[in-house]
Amino acid sequence: MVLKEEFLGRLRKIFGLNQYEVKVWSALLSRGVSTAGELSNISNVPRSRTYDILESLEKKGFVVLKLGKPIKFVALKPTEVVERVKKSVVRDAHETNKRLDELKGSDVLEELSTLYSSGIKYVEPTDLSGAVKGKNNIDNHLDMMLRNATKHVTIVTTSDGLNKHFEALKAGLEKAKKRGVSIRIAAPISSKNMVAAKELAKYAEVRSGNFKARFALSDGKEMMFMPLDDEEVHPNYDVGIWANSPFFAQAIHQIFGDTWEKMTPLNKLK
């Protein structure tokens, strides 16, 4: 049974398998029960690697070792594999989250912070800049700016952007508000994004204006602007340019202040 590389690639991505694992697993699925030698011939995976691959698949819950000689392996139903993988992902995520939580306040995190603080002294402020690629990374960076803010945050986005980002930023906005951070959000508001605008108004002052721009400012010290139109670019190819430049950020903050005053508050929209 010959499977297309495109299909094998999809299986690798969905189940988190490497190239050899997905070939051996699909070969076993086509046979039901088989020996390592037979699977090596079918899948074109080196015989010296096949046993290791099958042991890995067994640990991950994809196959079962059949008792007896010669040693054979039994394929599980794909639906059963899906359930096992789901449970494994949840368990691994829980354990990873627990380990990361335990880092807070630990000597490991203190040492890492010391390394960063000592290293950052030798970095020019203009070097603290870079490109952030993809919507998820942009959202994560915006969330970091919210977490680090102590005074004020300004977020300017498009009509679609208000809908696209509010779910990802809602938790960060809520926490920033509780810390006393003043938050302003500006976007063209209409019936298409009114629900998101009203939800965001719980954490920020939201105003509407007829313009298209995408940027964020934090404490007049750092900013990130998105140079591409989010209506024309796929989220995976979106780009944010981040700069830790008080000189630049403070200037944009002051310039935008005049525009903000001319915008329409959410509660005055018809």
What digits encode the pLDDT tens for the residues 124-138? 544 567 888 998 899
Q: How many angstroms separate the Cα of 113 from the Cα of each of 110, 130, 141?
A: 5, 21, 19
In this predicted structure, what is the pLDDT of residue 201? 92
**5-81 domain in CATH 1.10.10.10?**
yes
User: Are the folds of 5-81 and 126-268 the same?
Assistant: no
What digits encode the pLDDT tens for the residues 213-248? 899 999 988 999 999 988 888 888 999 999 888 888
Q: What whole-number percentage of the chain has pLDDT above 90?
A: 29
Q: What is the pTM of this model?
A: 0.60
Question: Given a cut of 90, is residue 186 above it in pLDDT?
Answer: yes
What digits encode the pLDDT tens for the residues 56-73? 888 888 888 877 788 888
Residue-range domain boundaries for the chain: 5-81, 126-268
In this predicted structure, what is the pLDDT of residue 164? 85
Question: Given a cut of 60, is residue 122 above it in pLDDT?
Answer: no
Question: Given a cut of 90, is residue 152 above it in pLDDT?
Answer: yes
In this predicted structure, what is the pLDDT of residue 270? 65
**Cα distance between residue 196 and residue 164, in whole Å:** 9
Non-local CB neighbours of 248 within 8 Å, separated by 6+ positions? 223
What digits encode the pLDDT tens for the residues 1-11? 556 778 888 88
What is the three-class DSSP state of 14?
helix
With cut-offs at 50, 70 and 90, classify the pLDDT of residue 108. Answer: confident
- Report, as an integer, the average pLDDT of 44-63: 89
**126-268 domain in CATH 3.30.870.10?**
yes
- Report, as an integer, the average pLDDT of 153-173: 89
